[in-house]
Amino acid sequence: MDMWIGFAGIALFLLLTIAVMERGRKRSNDFDDYATAGRSFGPFYATMAYVNTFLPGTVFISFAGLAALSGLVGYYLMAYAMLGVLLMLALSKPVFRWGKRFNLGTQSDLLALRYRSRGVRIVASIIGIVSTIPWIVLGLQSLALVFEFISGGVVGPLLAIVISIAVIVLRQIWTVRHGMRGIIVSDMVQGIFAYFIGTVIAIGLIVALLTNGHGFGDVPEGFTSLRGPGDAFGPLYAVSITLTGALGTWCWPDIFVRLFTVKSTQTIRRTAGYAAPLMLIFTFSVLTMAYLASSDERVAAAPDHVWFILAGDGGILLLTLACISVIGATLGNVGANIQAVGAQAANDIVGLIGRKDKVDVRVAKWAVAITTAISAVIAFGTLGSVSGLVGLAMLSYQGIVQLAPTLLIGIFWKRATAAGAISGMIVGFALAAVLQVLYPAEIPWLGGLTSGIVAMAVNALVLVVVSLLRPQNGKERSRVDELWAITAADEDPKTEHIVLTEETA
């Protein structure tokens, strides 16, 4: 009986989300509207969309599991979440204004504008897609855990993956139909359940733990210190994962496109102001709940399951709400990831191969469907990875952070060139892959630095050196100066449908 109550609650939540999407539907066959929602959303929608994309369902699982397993080091999520908000403020003017003036729709659209290079656009898209698909798989695995727990163990891992894929496929029908507008509207509903109701549940569980013998003084030895000098992971490990998360935040195609969907730069600033306290309170509550639960033997045996174990103690209704919180966060993240990968594949790879100025929205919809199918196949092939999902999350970050030098240096340094960007991305991504195979967690002889951070440093160095050795010509310097003038203007520009001429570099 309890299982059917849980599944009924989840079904009602999914129906509510679909109903809200249908209510906010705006029919359009234009790719620009499909990818950016007409740049029409205000700060409340933008806040929920950003948070729902930045904090996926695995926050309740792998990141909470890290806090339950390792203590204070798990709180690095809070640190890089706040750094990510600060980076949003820094990027707001150039990214939004360039996007509006030149009608940009994807992350690699912006890179193509900045560097005027087909090569930069393709390499950046490939890195973004390759790094994002494991994150989509992570979302499918997170959903599978929901269905295992809500069924009381009746649904096994294989069937749970099948159900999670079915839910995502059902959800993607509306993603395909509505594009980014549907994603943003549904993020509001999903975000309310994930972060507002999720926070209330987490605080309630904290109170229950504190009043039942699981206080701050009962956590295992070593939980009260950050990894640093003398730690097995090395003195720089905590710094590395925090920096990777902060810089990688705005390298994800799905989060980045959020800056293209809002009304103005002022909207982005207000979004940052709303998002910061919401993220801080939510992450602190969930991580503290997991931290205190570390003294529970059941949690110690399965840290990734901490959210479900504690919620299950409160009965089926609490467990159902807790599961809906995970589903809400997961659907927002997975939906946005699939949408972004589909848009990039259509616009930045298929579109370039076909040499079309504008991509038919049907191509983007097919790309979304294919991305979903590929992710489902990989999810089936990684059933044994359900435990310790934080490793998969960190693996994705090692790859995506290789876009940071091209993106951030390119936006804030005029002299960065296409040749430097392409060289840096290729060298950085290849080096990150090799180092990740050799050192999956950290590099001991470099004080605990991770593969992504080391490769990113080399990536940035290559970009700068090549840019200095092969500097821009006079025409390119003049073009870049015009971009900087748009950023420095007193007001946001009007949208102009300008065809960007790209070099083959």
Residue 119, pLDDT > 80, answer yes
Q: Could you read off the pLDDT of 141-160 as tens digits, one per residue?
A: 888 888 988 888 788 878 88
What is the pLDDT, as a whole number, of residue 387?
A: 45
Residue 353, pLDDT > 60, answer no
Q: How far from chain centre, in Å, is Cα 22?
A: 25
Average pLDDT in the 419-436 region? 93
Per the structure block, which two tokens stand in for 311? 């919620």
What is the pLDDT, as a whole number, of residue 383?
A: 61
Average pLDDT in the 189-203 region? 92
Phi, psi of 308, rounded to the nearest 5 degrees: -75, -35
Q: Residue 350: pLDDT band by 50, 70, 90 thresholds?
A: low
Who has greater pLDDT, 352 or 457?
A: 457
What is the pLDDT, as a whole number, of residue 94?
A: 87
Contact 141, 410 (CB under 8 A): no
Average pLDDT in the 435-462 region? 89
Average pLDDT, the chain: 81
Who has greater pLDDT, 19 or 349?
A: 19
Residue 92: what residue type?
A: S
Least confident of 121-130, 181-190, 257-266, 295-304: 257-266
What is the pLDDT, as a whole number, of residue 325?
A: 93
Residue 23, pLDDT > 80, answer no
What is the pLDDT, as a whole number, of residue 453?
A: 93
Looking at the chain, the number of H-run helices and the number of E-run strands are 23, 0
Per cent of the chain over pLDDT 70 is 80
Residue 435, pLDDT > 80, answer yes
Q: Residue 19: pLDDT band by 50, 70, 90 thresholds?
A: confident
Residue 465, pLDDT > 90, answer yes
Q: Residue 175: pLDDT band by 50, 70, 90 thresholds?
A: low
Least confident of 319-333, 412-426, 436-450, 472-486: 436-450
Structural domain boundaries in the chain: 2-389
Q: Residue 278: pLDDT band by 50, 70, 90 thresholds?
A: very high
Q: Could you read off the pLDDT of 54-72 as tens digits, one per residue?
A: 888 888 988 898 888 888 8
Residue 280, pLDDT > 60, answer yes
Cα distances (angstroms) measured from residue 170 to each of 91, 177, 368, 497: 34, 12, 13, 35
Average pLDDT in the 20-42 region? 63
Query: What CATH number belongs to 2-389?
Result: 1.10.4160.10
What is the pLDDT, as a whole number, of residue 229?
A: 47
Give the best-scoring range by mean pLDDT among 250-254, 356-360, 363-367, 448-452.
448-452
Q: Residue 388: pLDDT band by 50, 70, 90 thresholds?
A: very low
Contact partners, residue 86, CB within 8 Å, separation at least 6: 272
Phi, psi of 76, rounded to the nearest 5 degrees: -60, -25
Who has greater pLDDT, 407 or 33?
A: 407
Q: Residue 386: pLDDT band by 50, 70, 90 thresholds?
A: very low
What is the pLDDT, as a whole number, of residue 191?
A: 87
Residue 129, pLDDT > 50, answer yes
Considering only CA atoms, which of 502, 499, 501, 495 is closest in space to residue 36? 495
Would you call 89 exposed, middle or buried from its count of C-beta atoms within 10 A (0-12, 13-18, 19+)? middle
Per cent of the chain over pLDDT 90 is 22
Considering only CA atoms, which of 280, 305, 282, 146 is closest in space to residue 201? 282
Phi, psi of 263, rounded to the nearest 5 degrees: -80, -35
Residue 285, pLDDT > 90, answer yes
Say whether 173 sits in a helix, a strand or coil: helix
Per the structure block, which two tokens stand in for 498? 């300008």
